[in-house]
Structures are given as structure tokens and as C-alpha cells.
Structure 1
Amino acid sequence: MEALVRRCRLPVLGAHQPIRPRHSSALGRPRWLLLSQLFQPLSLPVGSEGGWEGRPGEPTCRSQRLMLQGGLIHPASPGCYCYLPPTVRAMEKLVRVIDEEMQALGGQKLNLPSLSSAEPWRASGRWDQMGPELFRLLDRHNHSYCLGPTHEEAVTELVASQSNLSYKQLPLRLYQVTRKFRDEPKPRFGLLRSREFYMKDMYTFDASEEAARHTYDQVCDAYCRLLSRLGLPFVKVRAATGSIGGTTSHEFQLPADVGEDRLVLCPEGHFAANVETLNGEQTSCPTCRERLTETKGIEVGHTFFLGTKYSSVSNAVFSSPENKPQLAQMGCYGLGVTRILAASIEVLSTEDSIRWPSLIAPYQLCFIPPKRGSKEEEEGAAQLEQVYDHLASALPHLAGDSVLDDRTQLTIGKRLKDANKLGYPYVVIAGKRACEDPPVFEVWNQNAGEVLFLTKEGIAELLSKVQVL
């Protein structure tokens, strides 16, 4: 990994190289990003001073280690991280997938303050119930505030302030993607258990319990679609309502050894639950009587049917068809955005190589030109540029999703090893066969674990199936 440490200090390709830098061409097409210019510094190894949080010898997990080694995150303070440019790209892609699913449900995106007044929290009873995990502070006027870990109180106050809300305007499905804060007693495992994180939270308001339960089912189905689109092996399990409350709750879990939740599953798929919801020791499925299996899971989503728990406190009412005030029936629905990023790396990757869900990989393509000074240098680099130009013309949506590993003082093998570790779904290499007639390129399909030898037309055909957000 020494080359990655030096990455930000390496010069770009010399003027004699035929490969152009990352600028728009005369045709207005974006150019590939030069890897030597990408800010992706490495973190320190486990146990080093100032490196990963915790003391030397504390347990870490695969996603934490790979994200630090790959320059995807950098520790800022215990449980808080800098998200580096590739991670931000992946997160923005993930948010676009979330937006598609939420807006397909009629979701409307808003943004609520992270800094919340204590009064609504006291009214709901959660100011005391949340305990020390709630970040609390006083302003200069000695008024109490908290940094929101969730926003049930804030959004219910907002809807309650609309005095002329009619049943004709329901259902309301309001959501946001924002930073959240939780004063974890012992943050660990990188983005899987942090003190500052990104979450998508949706809050719904319906005219009846029946309508609200229909909304609940719709959002759960959207979560299943989203996780399936990402190719993640998830299970939906019955869950406890905890400090948020309500009468019905489900978690969306990715089975993993480092998960903090214990799950019991029916092998036939009839029953799944977090063990904290069970009364006593339940060992068999209540439907088919098969023996339940136990596993650990990483919670990436949580849904709650709230009823009138919060609307009754804030008096969030609407006018019924009889023009009478009626309390709205509510639900709330969370997705851990940064946790999904880390959890997907945790469950999809190998011990030493990142594997992204293809849909949200920071960059889809990595191009590797010949080594500087090799006999293939000039012609191979020119042929690789022709591949890029062909793709930019045939598949313009991929043009801005490409990087060029311009560290040509390194061998192709070393750069391919780095590309494999960083998890680019596709790697295109200009080796000796790039100088043949017609030129043939080595193409690594990382997620499928296969190597192909293709012409530029063959590469375009292969990549035509790639979806880019």
C-alpha cells in the first residue's frame, strides 16, 4: 500500500503522454479523474497513536479496517470521522437511490434543524427517557437544547402548526437526509457505531389507523426494494419499539458476525425476530414448528407504527370530512445512510479488498495505461484514450464515473492490485495486446470475479448494462 500513501504527492502524467488531464473536451464531455489528484490519504494502522479510535488491541472489524486503509474515512475524534471524496460520492449515490424510493411513495423532502429545543422533548417525555445518549447543551440565555438523534418531536410540531390542515391533504410523507448525533458510551467499528452519522428519516401522517398501517406496509416494501437493488443480503425482523415508542416495529438487518443484534430466523422464512422481542426462550417457528436458527445482524433500517403517541402531545390535527378536528395517525422510518455504506462493505468485501454494491461504487471504471518507459507506453496509452472516447460517446453516463491511474512509474500489476483493493467494479488495462490490430484490452469485472479480453466495442457492450446514478 506504499504507493497509496504517496498518491497525493505524485506528479500527473508528463506533457509527452497522450492521455489528457481531467478537463472538459471541445465537445463538452467530462474527462476522467487522474488518480494522482484524488484526495484519498491513508489512515494509521491499528493501535497507532492518533490513528483508529480506542486502545491498541481493541477489536476492529473488516469494514472499519478497509475504509481506513483505503483512504475512505479518517478519524477526527472518538466516534466522528471525516468522509473522504470517494465516500462522499458513494453516499450521494446512495441518497439518490433513497430519494427514488421515497419519492415513489409520495415522499416530500425537507430539512429540520439538528439543534432542537428541549421543550418538545420534555413534553413527549423523551428528554429524561433518552438518558445520557442525548447530546444536551445550554445557549447563552441558559435555554436547553439537544442535538437531534431523531426528529419525531420537531416534525410533529411543524405539522401541528398548520391550523388549516385538511384530510384531503393526507397522507403526508415527509423525509430528510441529515446528520444525526448520539453520545455513544463506547463508539466502535467505524461507521457502524459512531457518534455523528447520516440518516434518512421519514415521518408520515394519515387520516386513520387503517391508512397509516397501509403506509407502514408501503414503506417497508420500499426498504426491501432498496436493499435488493443494492444486492445486500438483508432480513426483515420483528423488533422492539424502544425509546421511540409505538405499537409495531421492524428492523432491516444484514447478517454479520460483528453485528450487535441477536436474531432468530425460521429456515423456511416464516418468522424472524430480534431476540429482545421474545418472551422467554423461543426455539421453534410459531408457523411451521421448524427449529429457529440464531445469527447476529447489523441494523440498517428501522420502522415504527406510532399511532397518536406524538400527535396527541403536539395536537397535530386535521379537519375530518365532518369538519371536526382529528388526531393524525403517525409512523416513522429510519435508514442509516453511513451505516449502509459501512455494512455493505462489511458483508460484501474480502478480508483485504473492498467490494461495493455496484450501484453506489464511488467510480465504476478504472483505466490503467502502460508503465512509463515500456515499449507499449505510447501506443497503448493512445489506444486507451480511444477506448475512453468511444465510451464517452456511446455511454456518456459513464464518462464522469471513471478514473485514470496515471501513476505510470508503477507496474501494471501494482496498480491492478491497488484497484482490486479499492473495489472499482471494472478495471480496463492497456497491456501488450493493446498494440495488436485490432487492439485488445484486459478487463477485470471485479464483482463477478472474471477477466475478459475485449476490443473497445466489446468493452462498450459489457458496460452498456452498468447502471450509473
Structure 2
Amino acid sequence: MRATRFFISTLKEAPADAEIISHKLMMRAGMIKRLGSGIYNYMPMGLRVIRKVEAIVREEMNRAGAVEMLMPVVQPAELWQETGRWQKYGAELMRIKDRHGRDFIIQPTSEEVITDVARSDIKSYRQLPINFYHIQTKFRDERRPRFGLMRGREFTMKDAYSFDRDVESMKKSYAIMFDAYVRIFQRFGLQFRAVAADNGAIGGTGSHEFHVIADTGEDDLVYCPTSDYAANIEAAEALPLASERPTPTQAMTKVSTPGTVKCEQVAELLGIGLQQNVKSLVFAVDGNEEGSVKKQLWLLLLRADHELNEIKMQKVPGLANARMATEEEIIEWFGTEPGYLGPIGAKKALNIVADRTVANMSDFVCGANEANFHLTGVNWERDLPLPAIADLRNVQAGDPSPDGKGVLAIQRGIEVGHVFQLGTNYSEAMKATYLDENGKPQLLQMGCYGIGITRILGAAIEQNFDDKGIVWPTSLAPFEVVICPMGYDRSEQVKAETESLYSALVAAGVDVILDDRGERPGAMFADWELIGVPHRVVIGDRGLKEGKLEYQGRRDTEATAVVVADMVEFIKAKLAA
């Protein structure tokens, strides 16, 4: 490729609405251009990266035995109504009508469509296992699109769907896809981590997320440095911090704590550690309109220095549809304003759930359900019955690892892939069955596997950049090598050597671009450093007089002189490494 026949459109400054580094650098490098809120044109430079991501994904999916197809962007509402997701998916689902008033959606994912294909075409166990995938445009109507391709509304995703005869076979298909994902991310050249995750709106029985490690990531990844344990903080199990409850040493005492509505204030006033305080979080579950089911209030108890994990909370039976209680509801149930709440002496009956760590605490401090008062020396089974116990909190660095092989650490990551064991969630709702060896219908067991194709670009940049611009891994770079001639339009010798090297690299299968624009060296170098091409060759009269060319890797601090005749093999060795 010659630069004069390509489209290069770089900017010295990022647009004002670009917030994070990947968004700024992609805009400055001319890879994307904003069309509307969360909607971007993929410019030629950016599209080359996307195509390289797709090629790696496609090769590894095919290698794993998946079969490519293509499902439509627009899908009929009837399929989504069958599974109930027409109602459940929420405002992110873009619902539209055609000219006849019929309902459709712009797909965010394709479980319904692929299950419809399976129930129509898979008849016998002899057709299983099968795994279909496609690479297709998706749309999710984000409330607040931001961060460029990291949280846009329109994006490209690879989603795959496996169908198996039983749970054991489904787990084997899942393992095959998990291994394929590991190979994909290794080929991307990115530092990544696979972590156990919550299934979320997709449903199913088990899942793993694949995260690109980056300080700017939105997710906390929990892992054990001395074992293989890893999980998203949403799914990481929090063990009790004491293996058993200590024997009480204090009498329960009501103490005056004026103006202390926060646990930190209580701890400071009483001269105790924050870890000895228990905080009260109140949630409400509404009754039905007929009144046959009454509104309930739930009191969740956590150690004061711990944070509630709302994903875990929603898995507690009865709390799936909980909301924060209002101040009026709290006063009605507890008889006092927030800030002095506790599990003893509420006015009305409560559902109480204690976190595992709280259940093993003794002599703790909590609200007295009276303004300006707290209780000290509170103990389970002596002062109040032991309530329901659940894992309610986020883990913290230094907590014991659930596998018993060390302590936990936390790092930030950007989710770019997710694999699910769906089971029969969709096949049951849509009556997708096959006939087994005995001629009896059985539900298809499903798996689901997604990779955010366009999101990979943003994640890769968040992990690989410097003050000059993007630093692409070679496998993802828009071009592997750029040739930068000094005086290409003025020196016949420079032009001849440039054309010779360019032709030789093209013949060797190298993805090379020749910058024949006639730009000044400083401007030319700045463009390619911003764009992030990983290998650069400079050709100039001065070097040619010594029979040498200048090579510099994008991460190198200094250039290396290479004999003209050796440059092609030198570049091939760099690319092979």
C-alpha cells in the first residue's frame, strides 16, 4: 500500500468529547469518526485493524470446528416474546415497527434467532454437536454512550452458539470454545485474564469473562497470585474473615452517639476500629396491586468497611426485584431516621440477612433504632437470633482465596469476551428439541460465546500507548511496517532503494505501507507513531552512502542501522519474533 493511494487523516488534538485515551487516540489517528451519539464511521485505517481482529477470530473459530453463518440485524419481535426478553431486556433493546405496524428489534445478540434455526433444522442426535457463529453488527441503546468504541451503541460482535445433546456434551463444547478464546487473545498479543463471571441477562448456569488488563478498565478482577483462581468481583466468593465466632466478652450496652450517622463517625467517637461496626442497608420489595402479596422490608448487615455486592444480593431468594427503601418506609418500619438502624428493636417485622463475615462477629456495634444512640457489645444468639446468612459483599485484596491456596489480589480489566453455559434456557422457552437414540424428544443444551470485535481496538489501545500515540501489537496493527523515505521526491537513489525494499517486502508477504506523500520527516514520523505501526524503516541519502538503512521498533528508544541487503530478512525475523 502506498500512502498517496490510502486515506490518512490525523489530528494534532483530540475532539473535546473524547474522554479516555483510546477514544482520543483513535480519533486523532483517523481510525474512527463520530456520526452520532455512540455511532461511528470506521475509517480505512481503523477498518484494517478490525479486519485483522476478525481474521484471527475467524481462523480460531474454524479451527475449533465452529461453522460460520450470518444472521440478520433486524429480528421479528415474536421470537423475543417467546423467551420473554421482549419485556425483560429493558430500554437498551431498540424496538422498531415496520410499515405494517409489526414489531421488530435491532439485535443486541442472537440467541432467539439461532434457537429458531436449531428447532427448524436439527432433528436428530446424529446432527450434534454443532456450533454456529457469525460476525455481525449489533445495537444496544445505551443510556449514556461514551468512551468511543468502548461503550458505543452500534458495534461489531462475534457471537457463537453451540448445541449439544446433554449437559456433559455441552460442557465439552464450552471447554473447546474456552480454549479457542485463549488462543485468540494470545494471538492478539494482549495481556488478558479469564475470570469466572455472573451470567447476567443472558442466563444460564456458568460463565467466564475474558478481560484485557488495563488500569482504565471498568471491572475489578479478583485473582490469587499463587493459584489459578480468578473471578470478576461481581462473582468472586467472599469467605468469612473469621473461621468461627469468638466468645462474647462484653455486655450489650446502649450508648449515646449524637450526630453520628456514619459508621466512621461512630468508630471515632467510641475509639474502636471500623471493623467492629456493622452497617445496616435497607431494601424494599413491593407487593402486588391486588394486595395478596404485601410489601416487605429487608435489612442487610455488612461489616462497616465492606461494600455490598448487588449482584450477589439479587440472588438471595426474595431479593431479585429489591429496591432501596425510602426514608418514609425506614421510619415506618424502624421508628427512626437512617443512620441509627440495627437488627434489634425494629417497629415492624423485617427480613434480616447477615453477610458471612458479620455472622461470625461478636461484641459488635450497630444502630439502636433510636436517633443518636447505638448498641455496643452485641452478640448473636445471646442478644438476638442468628438471621439468614449469605455472601453479600465484595471481596477485598488480602481476603482468603476461595480455593484455599493463598490470598486475593485485585486488578482492573476491560471485558472483551464472554462465554456462557446456557443449558436449556432458550431451547425450553422455544421448544427446540431433537430426537435421541430411542426416538424421544429431548431439549437441546446450548452454549453462547461472544467477543466484542470493535471493542478489542479500544481495549488494545488502553493497554498499549505512550505519549506519542498508539503502540499496536504487530498482529493487530493496520500495517506491520512503514517505510519512511527522506526526500523520496528529490533523490533518485532514495527513491530507487525505497521502491526496491517496498517490492521485496510485498513479495515476502509483509503488510507494508510506503509513505510517498513527501511530508517533512518530523511530521511523517509523528503520524506513524500516532497511528502505532510497530516497525519503521527510514531510507535517506546519508545512510545509503554507508550502505545502511535505519530500523526502529515502535517501542525502541533508538534506531538500529541495518545493511541494505539484510533489511528484508531483518524485518522478517522481527515479525516472526
Query: TM-score over 0.5 for the alignment?
Result: yes
1:391 alignment counterpart: 505
Choose from 200, 204, 225 the match for 1:242. Answer: 200
Q: Structure 1 residue 448: deviation in Å?
A: 5.3
2:89 alignment counterpart: 130
Written as runs of structure 1 = structure 2, the 5 A alignment for 1:103-182 is: 103-162=62-121, 165-182=123-140
Cα distance in structure 2, aligned partners of 1:373 and 1:229: 38
Written as runs of structure 1 = structure 2, the 5 A alignment for 1:186-201 is: 186-201=144-159
1:216 and 2:324 are equivalent in the alignment: no
Q: Structure 1 residue 392: deviation in Å?
A: 3.6
Q: Structure 1 residue 436: deviation in Å?
A: 2.3
CA contact (8 A) 2:115 2:426 kept: yes
Consecutive unaligned residues in structure 1, runs of 5 or more: 1-31, 54-59
Cα distance in structure 2, aligned partners of 1:447 and 1:109: 37
* Gap change, CA 1:337 and 1:431, over 3 Å in 2: same
1:405 and 2:363 are equivalent in the alignment: no
Q: Structure 1 residue 42: deviation in Å?
A: 4.0
Consecutive unaligned residues in structure 2, runs of 5 or more: 237-390
1:204 alignment counterpart: 162
Q: SS where residue 561 of structure 2 aligns?
A: strand
1:435 alignment counterpart: 544
Q: SS where residue 201 of structure 1 aligns?
A: strand
RMSD value, Cα: 2.0
CA contact (8 A) 2:97 2:103 kept: yes
Q: Structure 1 residue 464: deviation in Å?
A: 2.1
- 1:334 maps to a residue whose letter is G
Q: Structure 1 residue 160: deviation in Å?
A: 0.4
CA contact (8 A) 2:488 2:494 kept: no
Bigger mean CA offset, 448-457 vs 356-365? 448-457
CA contact (8 A) 1:270 1:285 kept: no
1:5 alignment counterpart: none
Amino-acid identity (%): 37
Written as runs of structure 1 = structure 2, the 5 A alignment for 1:11-90 is: 32-33=1-2, 35-42=3-10, 45-46=13-14, 48=16, 52=17, 60-90=19-49
Cα distance in structure 2, aligned partners of 1:198 and 1:448: 33
1:423 and 2:532 are equivalent in the alignment: yes
2:553 alignment counterpart: 445
| 1:49-88 CA-partner distances (Å, limit 9, x unpaired) | xxx36xxxxxx11111100001010000010100000111
1:459 and 2:567 are equivalent in the alignment: yes
| 1:159-196 CA-partner distances (Å, limit 9, x unpaired) | 1012x622121111000000000000111111000000
| 1:312-338 CA-partner distances (Å, limit 9, x unpaired) | 122221221222221111000000000
* Gap change, CA 1:240 and 1:452, over 3 Å in 2: same
| 1:142-164 CA-partner distances (Å, limit 9, x unpaired) | 111111100000000011012x6
Cα distance in structure 2, aligned partners of 1:98 and 1:70: 24
Bigger mean CA offset, 262-271 vs 187-196? 262-271
CA contact (8 A) 1:62 1:351 kept: no
CA contact (8 A) 1:366 1:426 kept: yes
2:463 alignment counterpart: 347
Written as runs of structure 1 = structure 2, the 5 A alignment for 1:305-384 is: 305-371=421-487, 377-384=491-498
Cα distance in structure 2, aligned partners of 1:74 and 1:229: 27
Q: Structure 1 residue 37: deviation in Å?
A: 3.5
Cα distance in structure 1, aligned partners of 2:500 and 2:7: 27
Count of matched residue pairs: 418
Written as runs of structure 1 = structure 2, the 5 A alignment for 1:266-281 is: 266-278=224-236, 279=391, 280-281=393-394
* Gap change, CA 1:383 and 1:284, over 3 Å in 2: same
Cα distance in structure 1, aligned partners of 2:180 and 2:502: 36
* Gap change, CA 1:434 and 1:386, over 3 Å in 2: farther
Q: SS where residue 126 of structure 2 aligns?
A: helix
Bigger mean CA offset, 347-356 vs 276-285? 276-285
Q: Which has the larger radius of gyration?
A: 2
- 1:104 maps to a residue whose letter is R
CA contact (8 A) 1:368 1:427 kept: yes
CA contact (8 A) 1:380 1:434 kept: no
Q: Structure 1 residue 135: deviation in Å?
A: 0.5
CA contact (8 A) 2:197 2:208 kept: yes
1:6 alignment counterpart: none
Cα distance in structure 1, aligned partners of 2:438 and 2:482: 63
Cα distance in structure 2, aligned partners of 1:270 and 1:360: 28
Cα distance in structure 2, aligned partners of 1:290 and 1:404: 53
